[in-house]
Amino acid sequence: MKLGFEPTTEGRPTAVGSAGFAGAKSRPLRQCNLPIVKRRGSSKTALVTGASSGIGRELARLVAEDGLDLVLVARRSDRLEDLARELSVAHGVTARVLAKDLTSPSSPKEIIQELERERLDVDVLINCAGFGVYGRFWATEIERQMDVLRVNLIALTELTGCLLPDMVSRARGRILNLASTAAFQPGPYMAVYYATKAFVLSFSEAIAEELSGTGVTVTALCPGPTISEFQETAGIEDTWLFRGPLVMDARSVAKAGWAAAKRGKRVVIPGLGNKVLREIVRFSPRRLTTLVARQIQTKRGGEK
């Protein structure tokens, strides 16, 4: 399914740089600090946050396979530029790079300003940026926990709120928000992270209902443990959670999420085991599910 997003070369700006060809280096557009890698474009554009690694990177690849142009957002510009070159060469799409750290409160507004300067309409918004901090809440750095809120919750909400009105006015659009199976119960040792994912799920389902009949859909992607840089960043690679049978690879998770978004499905949980676990959580006492979450979040060798 291509969502009716067919590639075309009409009405698209020519490339300022030619990155990806003969080792040439991309240059910023004249009116915007978005380095561009271009071969041929489509009439639709997707913005992907967290595109430098993991599920976000795989979603960007899937979007490019369907012929959509991209705006790739993450902190690490070198990785984004490598990905932009890859997608341009492999799929002939326009891939713009916007290096932004979403822990900065000004970043979402700056992203919107760049889009306005470049006169880009976003038809697909994929909010995939996110991270967590491991440890007893009172023993972790509070500023780091606030960064989790800024990236997982505030930036997602602000970008959605800024881009959604135009989608509604055009009567078309897709939003894919990265939630998690962490949304279904509290998570001791990652209390803030789990809480942000509960917000993402609830927020996504609520606005999806508000958008009924508008031509715009919202999908919450709720993966279980997924092999990516997330567990290393959070310091949870040595927990029982990431040594169990529910672990999936980022590509499989991304495929499930993108397929669901194209169908307009509101919630998708990749993997049979994760679906079963969700049902168990639904019918279990809250105190019990919290205790189990604590146990699987415990590192080998005991609590630390």
Strand partners for 46? 70, 124
Instruction: Please give the domain boundaries of the chain with CATH numbers for all domains.
Output: 28-297 (3.40.50.720)
pLDDT digits (tens, 9 = 90+) for 135-184: 999 999 999 999 999 999 999 999 999 999 999 999 999 999 999 999 99
Query: Which position has the token pair 């006492």?
Result: 285
Residues 48/128, Cβ–Cβ less than 8 Å:
yes
Bigger pLDDT: 224 vs 66: 66
Whose structure tokens read 């916007």?
A: 98
Establish whether 275 is a catalytic residue: no
DSSP string, 189-215: TSHHHHHHHHHHHHHHHHHHHHTTTTT
Catalytic residue among 38, 100, 189, 193: 193
Instruction: Categorize the per-residue pLDDT at 16 as very low, low, confident or very high, splitting at 50, 70 and 90.
Output: very low
pLDDT band, residue 243 (cuts 50/70/90): low
Please say whether the beta carbons of 82 and 108 come within 8 A.
no
Q: What is the pLDDT of residue 25?
A: 37
pTM over 0.85: no
Mean pLDDT of the chain: 83
Higher pLDDT, 126 or 303: 126
DSSP for 240-263, written as a single string: GGGGSTT-EEHHHHHHHHHHHHHH
Looking at residue 51, its amino acid is: A
197 belongs to the catalytic site: yes
Q: List the beta strands (DSSP E) in the chain.
A: 28-29, 32-37, 45-49, 69-74, 95-99, 124-127, 173-178, 216-221, 226-227, 248-249, 267-268
Closest CA to 168 of 219, 114, 207, 196: 207
pLDDT of residue 207: 98
- The answer to whether 155 touches 102, Cβ cutoff 8 Å, is yes
Q: What is the dihedral of CA 187, 193, 198, 199, to 10 degrees?
A: 150
Is 78 or 294 the better-scoring residue by pLDDT? 78
Lowest mean pLDDT of 108-122, 237-251, 254-268, name the range.
237-251
- Assess contact for 111 and 45: CB atoms under 8 A: no
Task: Give percent of the chain with pLDDT exceeding 90.
Answer: 67
The pLDDT tens digits for 252-267 are 999 999 999 999 999 9
**Catalytic-role residue among 44, 100, 197, 262:** 197
